[in-house]
Structure 1
Amino acid sequence: MPRPYVLLSAAVSVDGYLDDASPERLLLSGAEDFDRVDELRAGSDAILVGGNTLRRDNPRLLVNSEARRAERVAAGLPAHPLKVTLSASGGLPAALNFWHTGGAKVAYTTDAAAPRLGAELAGLADVVGVGSRVGLGAVLDDLGARGVRRLMVEGGGSVHTQFLAEGLADELQLAVAPLLVGQADAPRFLGTADYPGGPRHRMRLLEARTVGDVVLLRYAPKESDA
């Protein structure tokens, strides 16, 4: 089965942070951009976030618009996309919001951690062991076999870094907010990695436009500008 089309989505500050270092979540986007993200979710077959993001932010990851949910159902789809997460440690508590909202969920982990996580999430999610490490290729292969054709990846930074470093992202959408964080302990959008093509590789720009007070930049990571 073909692998899904992989779209990475993130909101960042001008200096490249996903959040600040305070306990409260820093809202980088405004109402217009949140609605844009909701539209992206509604057009996806699955939404993926890393285990660290689940534990830190405790998100629900739903299609919020009732009209968009109704459109999905009318098209023969579930109201919400499949929700996907990754955790090499398998340390994903059953109390997280992620497991108790929306429709179907799947958690990918190592073969060693799968029995314990499967017991923790019994009745809440399909737990899949994908070997001695949680390789993204194996995850994409399994999602493709489940019929996922479009995968939206919402973070966090380590997950975005891994997808880009392994050359597995088809599209990158960055919403750049007019904020400066500048805190050493705050999470950054990307980490250090051996990215394909190195620092001289120029991704092709697909679109640049304003959405409220943020600027949306769409790139094709696998394609280069001449």
Structure 2
Amino acid sequence: MTRPYVLLSVAVSVDGYIDDASPERLRLSGAADFDRVDQVRADSDAILVGAQTLRSDNPRLLVDSAERRTARVLAGKPEYPLKVTVSASGDLDSDLRFWHHGGGKLVYTTDAGAAKLAGRLAGLAEVVRLGDDLDFDVLLDDLGARGVARLMVEGGTRVHTAFLAAGLADELHVAVAPILVGDTAAPRFLAAAAYPGAPHRRMRLADVTQVGDVAVLRYLPKADTAGRRTG
């Protein structure tokens, strides 16, 4: 069984935050970078976000460009990528915009979470049990069995941390916005974890691109460059 290629995508402030602590979502990227992200979404078979992101941002998680959606259909793909979320607790409201826009939806959850979601999301999403805990290896196996070849992960902190700590990310896009947040109550890109080889293992920097006033860094987390000269 072939697992999906996993691409993590995040926008951060210069000091490493993905939002501020206010009730309103902080827009880190500009129009040009949002368009770049839309292209990455269009190139993906599935897009995954965590339950906390759904609760805090209430995203639709769509490919916005009609031209890109048309190109997907002409290529024999669904108009929209499969939308995926994960929730250990099952505490997800059926009124969230995520369920009511786009194409197919999947929720990966625990046995306990499934007991809450099965009825609540009937007709809105397929609920998949992962057992007593969220097992991202099993999740990727299941997505691979469903024909998902390319998975885009858009956060949040817990989900990005889980993929990187388990060594499951193939590619990482970090869009660095020229903003300083400076609030310890605000969420950061990653949490403390036992990352493979940290702090001495170095990811390979594959590309740096300026998109508007944002610097997009493309890393390959599985390409260990430890011991090589870096300049």
Match of 1:192 in 2: 192
Match of 1:150 in 2: 150
Match of 1:5 in 2: 5
SS of match in other structure, 1:198: coil
Q: Which runs of 5+ in 2 are unaligned?
A: none
Distance 1:93 1:147 in 2: 28
Which residues in structure 2 correspond to 1:43-82 (within 5 Å)?
A: 43-82=43-82
Percent identity between the two aligned chains: 66
Per-residue deviation, 1:224: 1.9
Distance 1:187 1:146 in 2: 33
Match of 1:27 in 2: 27
Distance 2:147 2:90 in 1: 25
Match of 2:111 in 1: 111
Per-residue deviation, 1:198: 1.2
**Number of residue pairs aligned between Structure 1 and Structure 2:** 226
* Cα offsets for 1:18-73 (capped at 9, x unmatched): 00011111100001100000000000000000001000100000000000000001
* TM-score under structure 2 length normalisation: 0.97
Kindly provide the amino acid, as one letter, of the partner of residue 66 in structure 1.
A
SS of match in other structure, 2:222: strand
* Cα offsets for 1:77-97 (capped at 9, x unmatched): 111100000000001110000
Match of 2:122 in 1: 122
Distance 1:220 1:42 in 2: 21
Kindly provide the amino acid, as one letter, of the partner of residue 125 in structure 1.
A
Runs of 4+ residues over 6 Å off in structure 1: none
Match of 2:202 in 1: 202
* TM-score under structure 1 length normalisation: 0.99
Distance 2:111 2:145 in 1: 19
SS of match in other structure, 1:199: coil
Match of 1:163 in 2: 163
Per-residue deviation, 1:115: 2.7
SS of match in other structure, 2:195: coil
Match of 1:94 in 2: 94
Q: Which runs of 5+ in 1 are unaligned?
A: none
Distance 2:142 2:92 in 1: 20
